[in-house]
Each structure stands twice: as C-alpha cells, then as structure tokens.
A and B are shown apart, each in its own frame.
Chain A
C-alpha cells in the first residue's frame, strides 16, 4: 500500500470514481451550453441573465464549477507525481495548483451569485 496525503479522495479508488463522475458532469454542462447557444442564436444579455438567475441553473453551474475544480486537482496532482521528481518543486507546483483552484471556485461563486 502506497500512502499519499496529497491526493484528493480517501483512496485511489475514490480519486478514480470522482474523476469519472466529475467528467460526466462537465460533459453534461458542456453539451447543455453548446445546445443552449445553438437553439438561441440571437442571445442577448437579458436572456443570459435570466438563465443564470434560475436556481436550477445555479445548482447546475455550481456543480460544474466544483466538478472542474476536483477534476483539475486530481489530474494535475497525478501529472505532477509522474513528471516532477524533486519533492520541493513538486510540492510548490501542487500548492500553486491548489491555490489557483481555490481562487477560481470562490471567484466563480461570486460571479454566479452576482448576476
């Protein structure tokens, strides 16, 4: 058993499952967004604002945002443990990724509830 405290889930299995589930959420969000834009070719600000004022859309978007954060963290963590061998640099890289992800989540929520 290889233990690693910086991974996301409690185990390799949870990381793996989270990665699959978040991928599905992100796919659904992307398909919805593309579909919405295709079916509303002359989308204006008012309509766009109304879309995001709707609670279900906020839930969906927040879900996509959190999914992206988790997905990106697990992905970047894996990549860093593959390719960055010096522990110090790897730790720095992981911290930067973590910080950036956190900033994006807070910023995203602010935008979402700011409309």
Chain B
C-alpha cells in the first residue's frame, strides 16, 4: 500500500502543471532574471563620475575601511581630490567639485547647491556609513578570514554601485556576493515553495479537506501509511526540482556555492524538509480551499525571502542588525544565512546554528499538524 500510494502521489505531482510551475519553472525563471539583471548592470553605460574632494585629516588616515571603500569607488563613481579643508572649500566655491567629505566623529558631507550629483553623493555616503557600522559589528562578533571580510566589503560596494545605477566592475575574479545572496534566497524560496507539493498530496489524503480524502479514509489502508508515503513523494519531487535549479544555476549561470558540497546538500535537504513540513502544517490546520492555501504559502515564502534579502541585500543587514530575532523564525533567512555562513566563514558554528534552527522550525510545524493528522473521525466534513 505504501508503494502504491507513493507511486500515485508521484504521478499526480509530476502531472500537476501549476505545482510544477511554482516549484520547478518559477525559480529557474527568476534565477535567469537575476542573472540578466546583473549582466545588465555590468554592461550599463558609465554615468559621469562625480567630482568630490576628501579632507585628508588624521581621522581619515586612520580609518582603513572608509579609505578602502573610497579607493574602490574612485574613478568609477567618484573622481576624488585629496587635500586640506581649505583646498576643498576653494574647489567647492569654484564649482570644481559637487561637495567634499570630512571625517571627524562622523563622516560629514558638505555641499553648496542641490542637484542630482549632490543627492547621489549624500545617499552614497549615508549608505557607506551604515555599511561601515555593520562591517565593524560583524568583524567584532564573527571572526572572519580577512579575505572574506573584504569580499563582504566588495559586496557592499557592489550594492552601493548598483543602487546608484553605476557600472559594476568585476572587483575580484569571483562573483560578487551581492549576486550570491540573491541566489541563496532563490534556493530558500524554492525550498519553501516545495511546501506546496506536501500541501497538495496531504490535502488529498485528509477526509475533512478533500473528497479524495474521504474515499481514502474509508479504505482499509492505515492513515499513517497514506500520509507518510504522500509526504515522501512530495519531498522527492521537491528534491528533483531543487536539483534542477542547482544544476541550472551552477552550469548555466555559473553561480558558485562554495566547495563544501556535502554541507550544501545537507543544508538543502533540511531546507526542503522545512518547506515540506510548513506545507503540511498549512494543509492540516487551515480549512480553506486548496488555492487559498497555495496562496498562503506563496505569500509567506515571498515575505520570508524579502526579509532575508531577496529584493536587496540591505534588508538582510538591517534585520541582522536591528531585529535579529526575526531570523530565528524566518526559515528563508535560516537557509540563506546557512549558505552565506558556509561561503564566508572559516568556522561552521553559524552554519550548524542555521541547520539547527531549520530543524526546530520543521519540528514545530510537524507538532502543530500532528493532532489533526492523527484524527480519524470528524465533527464535520
């Protein structure tokens, strides 16, 4: 009976076009779009660089991060003249520069008039100051390889350049981690969307949720066998989908997931399991139409992915910094962060923490649904 039901569940899933779209096609399409967007950025025409001056006082010379950042931006976003404050003021008065920067306690921007250049300048400086703050915190809390630290830094620079629609130069030979994070969230999204598969098959097995469920419930096949085999089928299809996504992003889009393949696989397996158990929870706990349930999964997944940086990496940093508690209940951020930790950190404690969080999340989902999964007789169907 187990095999019979498993086979049937596989067949129904592989023939359900809507489900296959969301779990197979959509992630691949989205991945392609991401890829195109980044390529686009790379081939964009360069905007005119903004002429600025930086006051080279003691604090500036001491601040390694900032000087590094502006070195990177030199020639690309800014054309920078270094000198004393007097020189800077003179340049500003002669309209030779749009503004100048001076670092004391904070990084100050001095401008004379208002215009696009000035706005961009102010925005970038704000962005950099914020990033610098986060970088310091990260460096303080997590021991990182120096290489990784700069990787991170580059990624932020990339981000800043991106947001200002400026040509993105390939700073190192590796892909920018900005892109990487997007693809990590894409994997997270696919894991969670996989919940739809679990939702669908389990829904078909519950007498209070579907007509097929009633038919199955009156048969002499024990309920646990039916549900377990269906959930397993959902999991298998989910894994096929995510394997395709991995193959596609690795070989066609050249995304690099790091070298520890086993850990990557393990994290993905756990992520899929979290998605599956979330799907089952939604299947059992809500008594609404199947389409509504699918809608709930899509909405929840998108929210989770947004909060873990899918639509802009800044979100991830903002949440890491301000409301880290959200990461403890957001499965997408656990998955994204797991990949991130694998790629950037020497130690695995953060990775294992993410893995553990995913496991606990899945466990919670299953505990929530177990009561209604075990129910055999209903008050109303």
Partners in one complex: no
Residues of B at the A interface (CB closer than 8 Å) are: none
Residues of A at the B interface (CB closer than 8 Å) are: none
